[in-house]
Amino acid sequence: MQKKKRQVILIDADIDSNEEELQETAELIQACDMELCDLWYQRIKEIKHLSYIGSGKVDEFAKGLKHQNVDCVIFQQPLSSLQAGYLSEAWGLPVIDRSELIIEIFEQRAHTQEAKLQVQKAKMEKQRSRLIGKSKSLGRQGGGQNKGSGETQLELNRRLLKQRIKECDRQIQALKKQNALHYTRRLKQQIPVAALVGYTNAGKSTILNALLKQTNAAEHKQVYAQDQLFATLDTAIRRISMPYAPDVLIVDTVGFVSNLPHELIDAFHATLDEIRHADLLLHIIDHHNPIRYAQQEATLHTLTTLQADTIPIIDVYNKCDLSDCPYPKAQNNAVYISADDQESIGLIREQIAEAIYGPKEAVTLCIPYTKNDVISTVLSLIQLQTKENHTSELILHGFLRKKLICDFMNYVKF
Ligand SMILES: Nc1nc2c(ncn2[C@@H]2O[C@H](COP(=O)(O)OP(=O)(O)OP(=O)(O)O)[C@@H](O)[C@H]2O)c(=O)[nH]1
Ligand SMILES: [Mg+2]
């Protein structure tokens, strides 16, 4: 039997309404497997410390909620723990804001043990701050017969949460130690890494799949790609062959979103570490999305938070098939592509190879026949123009990438 989706009401309490941001929250709600049954607007002049919206509105919404079969209320604006706790008590329903909604999506999508623990930790951190807010609100109310016992129970809950967070941390640390020599870092000693980064749903996983397909990788290497926010939570690393260059490891990462909750950035430290250690970033941008500039900004902001803003970066404008932008095209430090187009994927591979190994330069190499291994390596990397078979050596004329030439310096003919 299909599980009934949780019914939610979205409240937008702001001075101005931002349609695109609301649309994004509606998509997040959908991604969280909830059903949006209504959207309530409330223009406000000032934010109330205790209840965010005015007390009259709190009562009015309480009446409205009685007539609706609602499981949860979602606030478009960020709520303090005090405000969320107050509204939740006033309406007798869970009240969460956008950042908690994102944490919930991550919770549903986490597959690996580490990801599960990290989301659990982020959730408990949020709960703990909420309990602190609650005890403050009890303190503010003052007096009351049950005040003492209420506070004791809260204290107890807080202590329990603190212990559980500590235990969660211990388990995460143990897992991290186990994976200390992570796959990427082990391989990175020989193979450069390029990370696909960008706003959620921009097409990162689709591009990785297209790269795999173009290079004839096995079907099971494909990753999950879907028209859904946060389709990817677990990092995938794949080895991709490059044109006239050695292989590169491509990392597919979790998508970003504006105001990604800091608890999640902390929790996904290990996953996002892959970005920090990359040699090259491919910033995937949905060219068709009307809010792509805001999305680009959000991604760049997150990269700065991750201290990954000094890594060389190529802007990849994807989904050009949906806009009127000509593609494939490389211009300055950007490429315009469609993930469904073979030529576009070829262009991406060329750009990655050039960024990592440098542009191709004309060379002539004279390699003795005795150096069999050198001959076969050079032949796998050179864009060959002509070949001369001499008595004791092979002469190759062609193009080699700049950073590879130094490996064959002994054979270069000037
Ligand atoms: N028309 C069109 N659709 C695309 C293109 N690239 C990706 N898509 C679609 O966009 C949706 C999202 O693609 P994903 O590859 O899952 O996006 P992602 O960036 O990995 O998303 P997250 O994992 O959620 O961060 C899918 O439905 C893809 O089929 C493209 O170039 N053109
Ligand atoms: Mg993805």
Percent of the chain exceeding pLDDT 70 equals 90
Q: Which of 24, 102, 206 is the best mutation target for the ligand 1 pocket, counting ligand atoms within 8 Å of the beta carbon and taking the most?
A: 206
Half-sphere exposure of 180 (CA within 13 A, CB side): 4
Q: Quick check: 179 and 285 in contact, CB under 8 A?
A: no
User: Among the listed ranges 122-131, 230-239, 262-271, which one has the minimum average pLDDT value?
Assistant: 262-271
- Give the pLDDT mean for 316-343: 96
pLDDT in tens, 240-280: 999 999 999 999 988 988 877 777 777 676 667 788 889 99
52 backbone φψ class: left, alpha, beta (φ>0; ψ -120 to 50)? left
Report how far residue 339's alpha carbon sits from residue 336's, in angstroms, rounded to the nearest whole number: 10
Q: For residue 56, is pLDDT > 60?
A: yes
226 lines ligand 1 (CB under 6 A): yes
pLDDT in tens, 140-180: 554 444 555 556 777 888 889 899 989 988 998 888 776 65
Report how far residue 384's alpha carbon sits from residue 362's, in angstroms, rounded to the nearest whole number: 10
pLDDT of residue 142: 47
Q: Over the chain, what is the mean pLDDT?
A: 88
Query: Cα separations (Å) of 36 from 4, 59, 73?
Result: 13, 22, 10
- Give the pLDDT mean for 103-131: 83
pLDDT of residue 228: 84
Residue 364 pairs with which residues in a beta bridge? 397
353 lines ligand 1 (CB under 6 A): no
Query: 33 or 320, which is more confident?
Result: 320
**Residue 292 corresponds to which tokens in the numbers above?**
């792509």
Q: For residue 123, is pLDDT > 90?
A: no
Q: Quick check: 338 and 318 in contact, CB under 8 A?
A: yes
pTM of the model: 0.86
pLDDT in tens, 169-226: 899 888 877 665 555 565 656 899 999 999 999 999 999 999 999 999 988 999 989 8
Report how far residue 411's alpha carbon sits from residue 373's, in angstroms, rounded to the nearest whole number: 13
pLDDT of residue 184: 57
Report how far residue 356's alpha carbon sits from residue 382's, in angstroms, rounded to the nearest whole number: 16
pLDDT of residue 183: 57
- Give the pLDDT mean for 43-72: 92
Ligand 1: residue whose CA is nearest its atom 14: 203
Strand pairing of 236-242 and 193-198? unpaired
Q: Which atom of ligand 1 is nearest to the CA of 200?
A: 25
pLDDT of residue 144: 45
Report how far residue 128's alpha carbon sits from residue 120's, in angstroms, rounded to the nearest whole number: 12
pLDDT of residue 230: 85
pLDDT of residue 252: 93
206 lines ligand 1 (CB under 6 A): yes
Q: Quick check: 236 and 313 in contact, CB under 8 A?
A: no
Report how far residue 274's alpha carbon sits from residue 289's, in angstroms, rounded to the nearest whole number: 27
Q: Is the C-alpha dihedral spanning 295, 297, 303, 306 positive or negative?
A: negative
Percent of the chain exceeding pLDDT 90 equals 56
Beta strand extents in 104-244 (DSSP E only): 193-198, 236-242
Give the closest residue to 284 by CA, choosing from 208, 373, 395, 181: 208
- Give the pLDDT mean for 14-36: 87
The number of helix segments (H) and strand segments (E) in the chain equals 14, 14
Under CATH, which architecture does the 183-357 domain have? 3-Layer(aba) Sandwich (3.40)
Q: Exposed, middle or buried: residue 159 (CB in 10 Å: 0-12, 13-18, 19+)? A: exposed
Q: For residue 356, is pLDDT > 60?
A: yes
First to last CA, the chain: 75
Ligand 1: residue whose CA is nearest its atom 26: 227
What secondary structure does DSSP assign to 241-298, as a single string? EETTEEEEEEEE-PPB-TT--HHHHHHTHHHHHHHHT-SEEEEEEETT-TTHHHHHHH
Query: 131 or 203, which is more confident?
Result: 203
Q: Quick check: 317 and 324 in contact, CB under 8 A?
A: no
289 lines ligand 1 (CB under 6 A): no
CATH level 3 topology of 6-106: Rossmann fold (3.40.50)
Report how far residue 150's alpha carbon sits from residue 145's, in angstroms, rounded to the nearest whole number: 9
Q: Quick check: 132 and 154 in contact, CB under 8 A?
A: no
Q: Quick check: 251 and 235 in contact, CB under 8 A?
A: yes
What's the CA-to-centroid distance between 114 and ligand 2, angstroms?
Answer: 18
**Residue 142 corresponds to which tokens in the numbers above?**
């003052």
> 93 Cβ partners below 8 Å, 6+ apart?
65, 70, 71, 72, 73
